[in-house]
Amino acid sequence: MFMMPYVTRLIRGYIPFAIALIVAVCCFNFFVLQANDAQRYQWAYDYYAGSVLAPVEAEAFKAHLREQRNGTALRDFEALEAQNAIPLMLQQMEADPQFSARIDQGTLLTTNDPQYHDWRSARAQFEQIESRIVTERFAFDTAAPDWAGAITHQFLHGGTGHLVGNMVVLLLVGPVVEALIGFIPFVCLFLIGGIAAAGAQWLVTHGAPGGLIGASGAISAVMAAFAVLLGTRRIPFFYFLVVYFDVIKAPALIALPVWLVNEAVQFYWFGDASRIAYGAHFGGLLAGALLVLPLRPRAIRKLAAASESQEADDPHAPASSSAARHLERARRLMARQQFDEARAVYAQAAQDAHGDIDTLRECFNVARLSPASRDYHRIVMRILALKSRQQEVQHLVLDTFSHYLTEAQPRPLLSPALATVLIERFAETGCLPQLERTIRVLHASAPAHEQLAPLIRRAIAAMNTAGEPQRAQALKTLLDRKTLA
């Protein structure tokens, strides 16, 4: 499952210098310093294949696998050897901690072996060539961890897709976090989160040989900080699950457990077969959540101040009535994508509208997008209770009634008092389908109500008067049910 927030204009006027600096460094490293790494890798592989290293180390590795009685790994390696797939052969050898340790310690061959000195000389030359590869030189080595690599690996990437993906996520969640905690704290959060991510990856791999590059661990710390700082504030999230995607509004803090569980599940299913550093992601998330906790009170104060400023950013907002003030506030909330809060304010505007059609129509058009919300029901009830017989009011009531009966969740809720108003309206205006549906909805929701029988009789009389005896007969069957005895 992929779940990512998108938030704009929480803190106005702040320029995320730290984000810009990190993006610039990562892009410079990838497009300039790492630009020739592919060629450098090829030089290293060509040297390895043409030197004594390839035959000597391949034979030693096969002997090592036989000693370990690892037939599967031996067959895989022999298949790669038959294809002369030097990069994959090296990868398999370096992934074996015992064999890799023998190479590093210079004990792969004994000193009495006639190829020992040639092998040591070629191995030293190969490692010198490898040291010119920027990615290899500055990656975090889980077999030989060091503080420098724990920092420098955060600014290297393995491909254009890797770089773009990380930078997009950073640009989505980073600016809000930097605006709330400041430039220096954000840089510290990023660096320490990346170091924690490297440590977590080292623990997960148990110190096995391997290199770690990429800013995803540090960005995971920023993501966790985002969730903790915004806490219960409801924000929009884009989510993607298998083939289904949508946008939901939820408290920001809910993203943290979702991300943690997602990483744990993916590591369980794909950890051994994937090149993705799930351990680093998990460690970054935990570190970011803990690191930002002391800064949360200050962030809350900044959010409150920003909200107050945004509420007062329109000095020309009309204040002729409480409904008008509610409308202006609801529109500002909609512009900031705070949809739940906007619906609640629209419901207040509808209560204070005093029959103003334009206000009620705007309130309904927003509320109808969430037919399961309490505010939707409140706004609909307000419109259906209108008693004016003006044509514009009639159209609004009919449109609202039709939408309510088909879309309301979990079901339409009509009180006997409101049903009485609607029955009188529909009987007078000859809206017989709506009249029948009102009776049936009321019968389904309050079958034992004492006013139900008189209302049904009133509807039957209206049907007969309008020359609809079949509709009248259909409603008459409701009077014979035991619930009305």
Measured distance CA(17)–CA(26) in Å, rounded: 14
Q: What was the pLDDT predicted at 8? A: 56
Measured distance CA(305)–CA(311) in Å, rounded: 10
Q: What residue segments make up the domains of the chain, in order of their start?
A: 151-300, 317-408, 414-485
Q: Which of 236, 235, 245, 189 is nearest to 215 (CA)?
A: 189
Q: What was the pLDDT predicted at 10? A: 67
Q: What was the pLDDT predicted at 319? A: 34
Write down the CATH number for the domain with range 317-408. 1.25.40
Q: What was the pLDDT predicted at 182? A: 93
- Give the Cα-Cα-Cα angle 421, 426, 428 (nearest 5 degrees): 95
Measured distance CA(113)–CA(314) in Å, rounded: 85
Amino acid at 450: E
Mean pLDDT (10-residue bins), the chain, 485 residues: 68 86 97 94 94 94 93 92 92 88 90 92 93 93 90 95 94 92 96 96 83 94 93 80 74 86 79 74 94 90 68 39 82 85 88 85 91 90 84 87 87 80 81 84 77 82 84 78 42
Cis peptide before 410 (omega within 30 of 0): yes
Amino acid at 309: S
pTM above 0.85, yes or no: no
Start-to-end C-alpha separation, the chain? 55
Measured distance CA(387)–CA(453) in Å, rounded: 23
Written in H, E and C, the secondary structure of the chain is: CEEEECCCCCCCCCCCHHHHHHHHHHHHHHHHHCCCHHHHHHHHHHHHHHCCHHHHHHHHHHHHHHHHCCHHHHHHHHHHHHCCCHHHHHHHHHCCHHHHHHHHHCCCCCCCCCCHHHHHHHHHHHHHHHHCCHHHHHCEECCCCCHHHHHHHHHCCCCHHHHHHHHHHHHHHHHHHHHHHCHHHHHHHHHHHHHHHHHHHHHHCCCCCCEECCCHHHHHHHHHHHHHHHCCCEEEEEEEECCEEEEEEEEHHHHHHHHHHHHHHHHHHHCCCCCCCHHHHHHHHHHHHHHHHHHHHHHHHHHHHHHHHHHCCCCCCCCCCHHHHHHHHHHHHHHCCCHHHHHHHHHHHHHCCCCCHHHHHHHHHHHCCCCCCHHHHHHHHHHHCCCCCCHHHHHHHHHHHHHHHHHCCCCCCCCHHHHHHHHHHHHHHCCHHHHHHHHHHHHHHCCCCCCHHHHHHHHHHHHHHCCCHHHHHHHHHHHCCHHHC
Measured distance CA(345)–CA(71) in Å, rounded: 69
